[in-house]
Amino acid sequence: MKRLDFVTLKLFVAIADSRSLTRAAEREHLALAAVSKRISDLETQLSTTLLYRRPRGVELTPAGHALLHHARHMLDSLDHLNADLSEYSVGIRGHVRLHANTSSVIEFLPDDLSDFSRRYPQIRIDMQERLSHEIIDAVRDGLTDIGIFSGHVPAEGLSIYPYRRDRLVLVTARDHPLAERESLAFAETLDYDFIGLEQDSSLHALLHQDSQRLARPVRMRIQVRSFEGICRMIDRGMGIGILPARAVAAYRESLSLTTTALTDEWAERELVIGIRDLETLPLIAREMIEHLANASARDIETPDIEAPPQGP
């Protein structure tokens, strides 16, 4: 078995496809005598008959069918190997499709993708911002190579890798009654009007799931499509909201906002990478997954929760 060569295996597959030594010889640009000898030598080497010789062609024996199955798999693996190494030989290049939720787009991906692009400047990254459940569907349907979404959203059938953790905080205007608190539980916020994301978002679902557990509804006054929209509404005194701490940090300089730590366990949230099958992805997509997954091991601190204002 150690002496099997890929030329003979490729020839055997051609014979199996055409059911003819002659047509296989023409397809592989070999003399018929050379084809016949290679197959005879292969049968001798394996100590079994692979082909039934018929007047009008050949048929596979049971051993031949078994060899055909493995030969196709080995040749396919060889093709993948050649493709991967050829990418290395010219300097990694290619195209990666990435769908990601708003939290990862705002908090982590700008830095992580920038680092990756510096390592592989010849690749093109097609990134789209989507809701977590939309991302999971897109990965399942093959519409994207890689998905990044909230870890609490069910993603059956996908391979999951850890990416990052973020911390949810209460966001209020500086003059709001809750702005003076150092920390509080979600239950203590439910007497106030909320500004939140649209209903299909994973963050919206997370808040309503806990409100149902508490048997107290969220008073959702306004729903918008972006973190910036929520922050601007809160700045104008329209309500309060719950957002990732890193996302709010981007608006602190321009808006009058205070963030307060939440004591609920679900406030510490995980973001994950989801794919269908690692082995079927292009090499450069696998390189990106490794890069993003390694980011989870980096010691990157979440921005400090802003202390409540002191005095008048």
Residues sharing a CB contact under 8 Å with residue 249, sequence separation 6 or more, in sequence order: 303
CA atoms within a 13 Å half-sphere pointing along the CA-CB vector of 171: 33
Task: Say what the pTM is.
Answer: 0.61
DSSP state of 220: E
Segments of the chain scoring below 50 in pLDDT: 299-305, 307-312
**Cβ(195)–Cβ(248) under 8 Å?**
no
Residue 2 confidence (pLDDT): 57
How many Å is the maximal CA-CA distance in the chain? 102
Residue 220 confidence (pLDDT): 92
Taking the alpha carbons at both ends of the chain, their separation in whole angstroms is 84
Q: At residue 308, what is the residue type?
A: P
Q: At residue 128, what is the residue type?
A: Q
**Which tokens go with 31?**
């003399």
DSSP state of 257: E
Q: Which residues of 142-158 are buried (b: 16+ CB within 10 A; e: fewer)?
A: eebbbbbbbbebebeeb
Residue 299 confidence (pLDDT): 39
Query: Among 17, 273, 29, 21, which Cα is nearest to 148's?
Result: 273
Residue 296 confidence (pLDDT): 67
**Cβ(12)–Cβ(46) under 8 Å?**
no
